[in-house]
Structure 1
Amino acid sequence: MASTQCKKHFILVHGSCHGAWCWYKLKPRLESAGHRISVVDLAASGIHPAKIEDLHSLSDYSEPLLKLLASLPAGDEKVVLVGHSYGGMNLALATDLFPEKVAVAVFLTAFLPDTHHRPSHVLEKFLENIPNDAWLDTELSDGGIMLLGPKFLSSYLYQLCSQEDVELAKTLMRPSSYFVEDLSKAKKFSEEGYGSVPRVFMICNQDLGITMEFQLWMIQNAGVNEVLELKDADHMAMLSKPQELCELLLQVVSKFA
C-alpha cells in the first residue's frame, strides 16, 4: 500500500458508447496502490438515465464530470484526470473550466484537441480519414448518433481483449455522439484553461480504432508534456493491459501530481 502522503484522487473518464464499467480492472489496481478513484458515467452512458437524443452539446454530455469537479472543495489537492478515446474531449472541456483543480490530464489513446483550432478540428480530421466501410456494423444516424457494432468492437477496438470482455461490451454499449456540429461552432479551448494544465499522452501501439499514425499526428498538432507508450495494447488498454496501464499511471503521478 502507498503511504497516505502519496494518495491521489483519480477521475477516470470513458469513451463513446461505453461507461464507468470499462474501468473495472484498473480501478481496484489503483485503489490497492492507495489512491482514491472516481469513475463517472457521462450523460446517457452506463447507467446514467439521460437519452443521447436529448443531449445537444459536449457540455450536456460532460455534465456528470463537470458536476463532480465543481463539487470538489476549493483548496483540495488537485485531481488526476484520465480520459480514454472520446473522453479526451471531456478532459479538454473540464480542464478549460477547472484548470485550478487538475494536476495533470492523461490522454489514453484519446482525442487530443488543440487551442488554435475549433474543438471539432481533431474529430473532423479523424472522421475524414475513415472510409465508410470501416465502420462495419456500427449504426450511424443522420443526427450524428452512433452505436458501435459487435463486429466493429471485435475487429478494431477489442482485438487483444478476452472474449468475456467483448461480450460484456456488447451487452453494455449505448448510443453516443461526437457532437461535431456543436463543436464546430464552439469557441476554441483556451491557453489559460486547457492549455495551462500538464498533458500526458499514452500511445497504444496496437490500436486499430485510433491508429498509431493518428495518435502521433495529434501529439504533434496539440503538443503534450510527456508521451508514454503501452506496448501490445489495443484501443481498450484498460481491459487488455490493465496492470501495465496502472504502472504507467503511477509513474505519471510521481512526476506530475
Structure 2
Amino acid sequence: MSTLVLVHGFWHGSWCWSEVVPHVVAAGRLTVAVDLAGHGLHARRPRWFRAQPYNREAVSTEVSPVADVSLDDAAELLTSQIRRIGRGEPVTVVAHSAAGPVLTRTAEQTPELVAHAVYLSAYMPASGKSAAAYTRLPEAADDLVAPLLQGDPARTGALRLDFATADAAYRQRLHEAFYGDVDPVLAEAATGLLTPDGPIGIMLGTTALTREGWGSVRRTYIVCTRDMAIRPGVQATFISEADAAFPDNPTSVVALDASHSPFLSMPGELADIIIPLG
C-alpha cells in the first residue's frame, strides 16, 4: 500500500501524531508525519511569546513572523515533502484541521502524487471558497476556538492564541476547544508544545477545483462528532458540497466519537481507520 503522510493542523506540529505512528507501523504500514508551513520546525514565534514582563497589548498587535506564509507556500512545501517521501509515487495524505485546504491545493495541482486524500475533521473547502468562509456559517456559531483568538488577523497576519497567559480560565477553554476528551495531563503537555500563530494566508487562500485534479482523487472524511473547533455541521457541509460538485467520486465518510484531537484521545482507533486507506 502507499505510504501514509500525516499532516497536522494549526498551532500543532508533526509531534502530535506520535501516539498514532507506532500503531500504524506495527501494522506494517509505512508512515511519516511532516510539519505544515509556519509550524513545527518551520514555526517562528512572535517576540511577545517569550518576552518578560508579559505584554498584553503586544499579544493583540504584534505582526506575526509567519504572516507572509500563504496557501501557495504551504502547498509547495507539502508537495515537496510527499514527492520526496513517495519518491515520485503516490502517497496517502491524512490532513487534520487547517491542513485540509493545503491537501486540497496539493491534490488539485499534482493529483498523480496523492493516492488518497483523507480529511480528519479538516477544512475541505469547495471550489473557489476559502477555509475562513466556513467559520462564518451558522453551523460554526458555537465553536470554541473563535472566542479565544487574539487581535485582528488582518493586522497580525495570523490566527493567534495566547499560550503565554497565566489566565487559568483561558487555558481551560483551550483544553475544551481542542482536547475535550484527552487526559488532562496529556492535554497540558500538548498545550505546552503549541505555537501561537497560524498563518492567516492558509485560511484565506482559495483553489479552483477540477474533475481532472482534486475531483479525480479518492477522498475520505473522518468526522469527529464531538469536535468543538470545527463543528460537525460544518464538517457535513464540506462533504455535501464535495459530493454535489463531483458526484462520480463521492466522499467515503467515517465517524469517530471524538473531540478535535483523536490522535491524542484515541490513537489506536484512529490508526485502525487510516491503516487500510491506500
- Common fold: TM-score over 0.5: yes
Aligned length: 239
Is 1:92 aligned to 2:118, yes or no? no
1:125 maps to which residue? 134
2:254 maps to which residue? 228
1:246 maps to which residue? 271
Q: Mark the runs of 5 or more structure 2 residues left unpaired by the alignment.
A: 46-64, 163-170, 244-249
Check conservation: 2:20, 2:271, Cα contact below 8 A: yes
Distance 1:180 1:132 in 2: 22
- Identity among equivalent positions (%) equals 28
Which of these residues, 12, 21, 26, is aligned with residue 27 of structure 1? Answer: 21
Q: CA deviation at 1:196?
A: 0.9
Check conservation: 1:119, 1:189, Cα contact below 8 A: no
Q: CA deviation at 1:128?
A: 4.7
Check conservation: 1:55, 1:61, Cα contact below 8 A: no
Question: Compared with structure 1, are the counterparts of its residues 50 and 98 closer, same or farther at alpha carbon in structure 2 (3 Å cutoff)?
Answer: farther
Check conservation: 1:40, 1:64, Cα contact below 8 A: no
Distance 1:187 1:228 in 2: 25
Distance 1:10 1:181 in 2: 24
2:81 maps to which residue? 68
Which of these residues, 231, 234, 237, is aligned with residue 262 of structure 2? Answer: 237
1:45-73 C-alpha deviation (Å, 9 max, x unpaired): 01225564352411223443121123343
RMSD: 2.4
Looking at CA atoms only, which structure, 1 or 2, has the larger radius of gyration?
Answer: 2
TM superposition score normalised by structure 2:
0.77
Higher relative contact order (CA 8 A, sep 6+): 2
Paired letter, 1:154 = H
Is 1:46 aligned to 2:40, yes or no? yes
Paired letter, 1:124 = A
Is 1:170 aligned to 2:204, yes or no? no
Q: CA deviation at 1:29?
A: 0.9
Distance 1:187 1:243 in 2: 33
Distance 1:220 1:198 in 2: 15
Check conservation: 1:99, 1:197, Cα contact below 8 A: yes
Question: Compared with structure 1, are the counterparts of its residues 59 and 245 closer, same or farther at alpha carbon in structure 2 (3 Å cutoff)?
Answer: same
TM superposition score normalised by structure 1:
0.83
Check conservation: 1:124, 1:180, Cα contact below 8 A: no
Distance 1:53 1:229 in 2: 33
Paired letter, 2:10 = S
